[in-house]
Amino acid sequence: MEIPKTYDPQITEDKWYAYWQKHKFFKSTPDKREPYTIVIPPPNVTGVLHMGHMLNNTIQDVLIRMKRMQGYNACWVPGTDHASIATEAKVVALLKEKGIKKLDLTREEFLKYAWEWKDKYGGIILKQLEKLGASCDWDRTRFTMEKDLSEAVIDVFIDLHKKGQIYRGVRMVNWDPQGLTAVSDEEVIHKEVNSKLYYVKYRIENSLPIEYITIATTRPETILGDTAVCVHPDDDRYKHLKGARVIIPIINRSVPIIFDDYIDIEFGTGALKVTPAHDVNDYNLGVKHNLEVIDTIASDGKMSAAAQFYVGEDRFAVRKKIVKDLDEMGLIVKIEDIKNKVGYSERTDAVIEPKLSMQWFLKMDSISNPALENVLNGKIKLIPEKFVNTYKHWMENVHDWCISRQLWWGQQIPAWYDNKGNTVVCKTKPEAFNQLRIKNAELRIEDVRQDEDVLDTWFSSWLWPISVFDGFKNPDGADINYYYPTNDLVTAPEILFFWVARMIIAGYEYRGKKPFTNVYLTGIVRDKQGRKMSKSLGNSPDPIELIEKYGADGVRVGMLLCSPAGNDLPFDESYCEQGRNFSNKVWNAFRLLKGFEVIDAPQSNTNKISVAWFDAKFNEQLNIINDCYHKYRMSEALMNTYKLVWDDFCAWYLEMIKPEFIDGQAQPIDRITFDATIIFFERLLKVMHPWMPFITEEIWHLIKDREDKECIIIASWPILDKNYRWDQTRVFEECKDIITTIRSIRQQKQISPKTKLKLFKRSAPGGNHFDDIIIKLANLESLESTEEPIAGAVSFVRKTESSFGEFFIPLEQNINLEEEKARLTKELDYSKGFLKSVEIKLSNEKFVANAKPELIANEKKKQADAEAKIKAIEEQLMSLI
RNA sequence: GGGAGCUUAGCUCAGCUGGUUCAGAGCAUCUGCCUUACAAGCAGAGGGUCACUGGUUCGAACCCAGUAGCUCCCACCA
- Render pLDDT for A550-561 as a digit per residue (tens, 0 to 9): 999 999 999 998
Residue with CA nearest B42 C1'?
A651
Scanning every strand, the nucleotide with its C1' closest to A627's CA turns out to be B16
Residue with CA nearest B26 C1'?
A639
Cα A848 to Cα A104, A375, A860, A862, A865, distances in angstroms: 88, 44, 11, 15, 19
Scanning every strand, the nucleotide with its C1' closest to A754's CA turns out to be B35
Scanning every strand, the nucleotide with its C1' closest to A633's CA turns out to be B14
CB burial of A588-605 (b: ≥16 within 10 Å; e: otherwise) equals: bbbbebeebeeeeeebbe
Contact A467, A149 (CB under 8 A): yes
Phi then psi for residue A255, to 5 deg, are: -130, 155
A830 CA – B48 C1', rounded, Å:
19
A637 CA – B60 C1', rounded, Å:
29
Contact A238, A269 (CB under 8 A): no
A580 CA – B13 C1', rounded, Å:
21
A689 CA – B74 C1', rounded, Å:
41
Model pLDDT, residue A642: 96
Scanning every strand, the nucleotide with its C1' closest to A742's CA turns out to be B44
ipTM of the assembly?
Answer: 0.95
Residues A800, A553: Cα–Cα separation, whole Å: 41
Query: Has residue A28 got a pLDDT over 90?
Result: yes
pLDDT (mean) for A397-418: 94
* Residue A283, burial from CB neighbour count under 10 angstroms (0-12, 13-18, 19+): buried
Identify the band that residue A840 occupies on the pLDDT scale cut at 50, 70 and 90.
confident
Scanning every strand, the nucleotide with its C1' closest to A186's CA turns out to be B74
Scanning every strand, the nucleotide with its C1' closest to A840's CA turns out to be B58
User: What percent of chain A is modeled with pLDDT above 90?
Assistant: 65
- Strand bridging mode A415-417 / A449-450: antiparallel
A117 CA – B16 C1', rounded, Å:
50
Contact A600, A670 (CB under 8 A): yes
Give tens-digit pLDDT for A44-63.
998 888 898 999 999 999 99
A777 CA – B27 C1', rounded, Å:
26
CA-based end-to-end distance of chain A = 60
Contact A216, A382 (CB under 8 A): no
Q: Give nucleotides in strand B with any atom < 7 A to a protein C-beta.
A: 2-5, 11-14, 16, 19-21, 25-28, 31-33, 35-45, 57-59, 71-78
Query: Has residue A612 got a pLDDT over 80?
Result: yes
Contact A270, A213 (CB under 8 A): no
Model pLDDT, residue A479: 98
Give tens-digit pLDDT for A188-212.
888 888 889 999 999 999 988 999 9
Which is more confidently placed, A346 or A411?
Answer: A411
Scanning every strand, the nucleotide with its C1' closest to A590's CA turns out to be B37
Residue with CA nearest B59 C1'?
A847
C-alpha triplet A55, A57, A60: angle, nearest 5°:
115
Residues A659, A210: Cα–Cα separation, whole Å: 105
**DSSP codes of every residue in A528-593:** TTSPBP-TTTT-PPPHHHHHHHH-HHHHHHHHHHT--TT--EE--HHHHHHHHHHHHHHHHHHHHH
A383 CA – B69 C1', rounded, Å:
27
Contact A49, A541 (CB under 8 A): no
Residues A463, A569: Cα–Cα separation, whole Å: 30
Residue with CA nearest B21 C1'?
A834
Strand spans (E) along A87-155: 142-143
Scanning every strand, the nucleotide with its C1' closest to A268's CA turns out to be B78
A433 CA – B74 C1', rounded, Å:
44
A394 CA – B78 C1', rounded, Å:
26
Residues A114, A111: Cα–Cα separation, whole Å: 5
Model pLDDT, residue A768: 66
pTM for the full predicted model: 0.93
Q: Calculate the CA A216 to chain-centre distance.
A: 43
Residue with CA nearest B78 C1'?
A217
CB burial of A99-113 (b: ≥16 within 10 Å; e: otherwise) equals: eeebeebeeeebbeb
A616 CA – B23 C1', rounded, Å:
28
Scanning every strand, the nucleotide with its C1' closest to A231's CA turns out to be B78
Q: Calculate the CA A299 to chain-centre distance.
A: 37
Model pLDDT, residue A799: 81
Identify the band that residue A622 occupies on the pLDDT scale cut at 50, 70 and 90.
very high
A288, HSE (Cβ side, Cα atoms, 13 Å)? 14
Give tens-digit pLDDT for A360-396.
999 998 899 999 999 988 899 998 888 888 888 888 8
**DSSP codes of every residue in A157-173:** HHHHHHTT-EEEEEEEE
Query: Has residue A765 got a pLDDT over 80?
Result: no
Scanning every strand, the nucleotide with its C1' closest to A384's CA turns out to be B5
pLDDT (mean) for A300-312: 93
A751 CA – B38 C1', rounded, Å:
24
Model pLDDT, residue A629: 93
Residues A273, A533: Cα–Cα separation, whole Å: 41
Scanning every strand, the nucleotide with its C1' closest to A564's CA turns out to be B13
Least confident piece of the model among A353-357, A537-541, A744-748, A777-781:
A537-541
Q: Average per-residue pLDDT in chain A?
A: 91
A354 CA – B24 C1', rounded, Å:
53
Contact A469, A479 (CB under 8 A): yes
A632 CA – B13 C1', rounded, Å:
16
Q: To which H or E segment does residue A197 belong?
A: strand A188-204
Model pLDDT, residue A723: 86
- Nearest one of A216, A355, A228 to A296, comparing CA atoms: A355
Residues A44, A65: Cα–Cα separation, whole Å: 24
Residues, chain A, total? 881
Model pLDDT, residue A535: 67
Scanning every strand, the nucleotide with its C1' closest to A745's CA turns out to be B44
Give tens-digit pLDDT for A670-724.
999 999 999 999 999 999 999 999 999 999 999 999 998 999 999 999 999 988 8
Scanning every strand, the nucleotide with its C1' closest to A650's CA turns out to be B37
Residue with CA nearest B70 C1'?
A530
A754 CA – B35 C1', rounded, Å:
8
Which is more confidently placed, A469 or A376?
Answer: A469
A673 CA – B28 C1', rounded, Å:
37
As beta bridge partners, residue A203 has A212, A247
Scanning every strand, the nucleotide with its C1' closest to A7's CA turns out to be B40
Residue with CA nearest B73 C1'?
A390
Residue with CA nearest B44 C1'?
A744
- Nearest one of A540, A611, A527, A534 to A572, comparing CA atoms: A527
Residues A737, A799: Cα–Cα separation, whole Å: 8
Model pLDDT, residue A208: 84
Give tens-digit pLDDT for A230-281.
999 988 999 899 889 999 999 999 999 999 988 888 888 989 999 999 998 8
A793 CA – B51 C1', rounded, Å:
48
A575 CA – B26 C1', rounded, Å:
10
Q: Calculate the CA A860 to chain-centre distance.
A: 47
Scanning every strand, the nucleotide with its C1' closest to A575's CA turns out to be B27
A567 CA – B62 C1', rounded, Å:
21
A232 CA – B59 C1', rounded, Å:
60
A237 CA – B6 C1', rounded, Å:
46
Contact A173, A182 (CB under 8 A): yes
Residue with CA nearest B45 C1'?
A744
Give tens-digit pLDDT for A768-810.
678 899 999 999 998 888 888 888 888 888 887 667 888 999 8
Query: Has residue A767 got a pLDDT over 60?
Result: no
Model pLDDT, residue A620: 93
Q: Provide, for chain A, the percentages of residues in helix, strand and coil under a 3-state DSSP scheme, each rounded to the nearest 5.
A: 45, 20, 35
Scanning every strand, the nucleotide with its C1' closest to A338's CA turns out to be B78
